[in-house]
Amino acid sequence: MAKPFMDEDFLLETPTARTLYHEYAAPQPILDYHCHLPPAEIAQNKQFRNITEIWLGGDHYKWRFMRSSGVTEDFITGDQPDQAKFRRFCEVLPLAVGNPLYHWCHLELRRFFGTDLVVSVATADALWEICNTKLKQPDFFARGLMQSAKVRGVCTTDDPIDDLANHAAIAADQSFSIKVLPTFRPDRSFNIDRADYAEYLAKLAEASGIPINRFADVRKALSARLDYFAERGCRLSDHGIDIAMFYEEATEAELDAILARRLEGAALSPKEIEQYKTAVLLHVGREYAQRDWAMQLHLSALRNNNARMFKTLGPDTGWDSISDGLVAAKLSRYLDALDADNRLPRTILYGLNPIHNEVLGTMIGNFQDGRVLGKMQFGSGWWFNDQKDGMIRQLTALANLGNLGAFVGMLTDSRSFLSYTRHEYFRRILCNLIGGWVENGEYPQDWAQLQRLVEGISYGNASRYFGLGTD
């Protein structure tokens, strides 16, 4: 006899797993230390016009699936009416067997909207009415959704030139208890190969108040913005290292020459580009250590593969994939260069390519220092890997090669206020994995220790690691 669809014991295969989840994991709050929520929508306590806006708007996971299901772009990012877009999504979602989207969508409907209707073309109109009726209520505005998900803290993703005005407005509002803090994301400062790099440096110079003519000025400008972010509660950085890791040393004179040539419009060699990126990343890494921040490195995305659609829709619209570029040797050199003078910050390494799981699982062990629990972290299954198999692979690699008990756990990496159910999805998978080991005699059924492990990975480890004052 088949199990009921997504019942209370969804993904929990053993009695131990069920106890671990229901008693220890489920009650834990959420610290979403990496996401892409727009701070303006939190500051304004945005009311969403309908389920299409909050469910489908900006969600490139759903957009990719719809395209593969024969849905034309006018029903995805185009000008079709919102209800028509929603109906088309409901029509094709039943095709998503084995896809985490199917589980996420139903978890979101159940936890936020209180309905166990199964998504289909037959239920689309009923779901439209149920969800839209609730979205009119203040508890379903942006802040209310965060509060209902038991969120304690959120770290957004912010460019160094951002004035963080929305963060200031949120912090000044005593009626809202959830911490919303910025994260320093300086990718545009080291991507010297981008066509708009000179324009970006001009904006960085304006934001920092430091004219930029030499590479030393780039350092000063970034340090000034780091100070600005720190004064506004920032304790984390984040970097997207696309395709492959880079590391190529350069002298100060070489860096000045590279910058001058780029500002003059000259083309740079691959070596020069790598030298410049390395120098920027070394500088900010040392600055993070000085400020006791955590650094996040997201590795191996291959972005904007479809040039035609990138030109039409821009970035982050569902045309990215996994890179097979190399990471190990140059990542090791980078971390070692920071560690050489004891200026390696707490660091989380995320691998988009699962073939790097064991690479990263072993890399973190090279730079633990015994002073911080899990100083070096192998981050959770990210993007294309935040599904059942991907999470199990990441958790197993970390357990085999590192310290699962020190793991800082899950994050949403999302632009949606409904994505907090991904934490539930992760916690169920985590508890099932650990519960299976216990039931198989691979770990003792010591409930006090199991409680510490599960509560730590679900929330406590991240709270202690980042020190954001969310407890």
Q: What does the DSSP assignment read for 226-282?
A: HHHHHHTT--EEEEEE-SS-------HHHHHHHHHHHHTT----HHHHHHHHHHHHH
Q: Determine the pLDDT at residue 350.
A: 98
For 281, phi then psi, to 5°, come to -65, -35
Q: What is the average pLDDT score of the chain?
A: 97
- pTM here is 0.97
Compute CA distances 318 → 16, 68, 129, whole Å. Answer: 39, 11, 28
Nearest-10 Cα torsion for 138, 105, 354, 28: 50
Residues 15-39, mean pLDDT to the nearest whole number? 98
Mean pLDDT across 64-79: 98
The domain made up of 48-139 has a fold known as uronate isomerase, domain 2, chain A (1.10.2020)
> How do beta strands 346-351 and 30-32 pair?
unpaired
- Look at residue 456 in the predicted model and tell me its pLDDT: 98
Query: What local confidence, expressed as pLDDT, does residue 469 receive?
Result: 86
Q: Is 157 helix (H, G, I), strand (E, B) or coil?
A: coil
pLDDT single digits (tens) 143-190: 999 999 999 999 999 999 999 999 999 999 999 999 999 999 999 999
Q: What is the pLDDT, as a whole number, of residue 269?
A: 97
Q: Which amino acid is at 142?
A: A
- 345 DSSP 8-state letter: P
Q: Crossing angle of helices 270-291/215-231, nearest 10°?
A: 40
% pLDDT > 90, the chain? 98
Strand partners, 151: 30
The pLDDT assigned to 470 comes to: 85
Block residue for tokens 């970097």:
239
Q: Report yes or no: 379 and 412 within 8 Å, Cβ to Cβ.
A: no
Paired sense of beta strands 151-155 and 179-181, if any: parallel
- Asked if pLDDT for residue 355 goes beyond 90, the answer is yes
Question: CA–CA separation, 463 vs 42, rounded Å?
Answer: 21
Residue matched to tokens 């990138």: 310
Question: Which CATH number is correct for 142-466, 3.20.20.140, 2.30.30.50, 3.40.50.2300, 3.40.50.10470?
Answer: 3.20.20.140
Q: Give residue 345's pLDDT.
A: 98
pLDDT in tens, 84-138: 999 999 999 999 999 999 999 999 999 999 999 999 999 999 999 999 999 999 9
Helix, strand, or coil (residue 3): coil
Rounded to whole angstroms, how far apart are CA atoms 458 and 303? 30
pLDDT in tens, 402-454: 999 999 999 999 999 999 999 999 999 999 999 999 999 999 999 999 999 99
pLDDT band at 193 (very low <50, low <70, confident <90, very high): very high
**Domain map of the chain by residue range?**
48-139, 142-466
Q: Residue 461's pLDDT band (boundaries 50, 70, 90)?
A: very high
The per-residue pLDDT for 236 is 97
Mean pLDDT (whole number) for 349-375: 97
What pLDDT does 1 receive?
83
The pLDDT-based confidence of 238 (bands split at 50, 70, 90) is very high
Band the pLDDT of 471: cuts 50, 70, 90: confident
Over 90: is that where the pLDDT of 391 sits?
Answer: yes
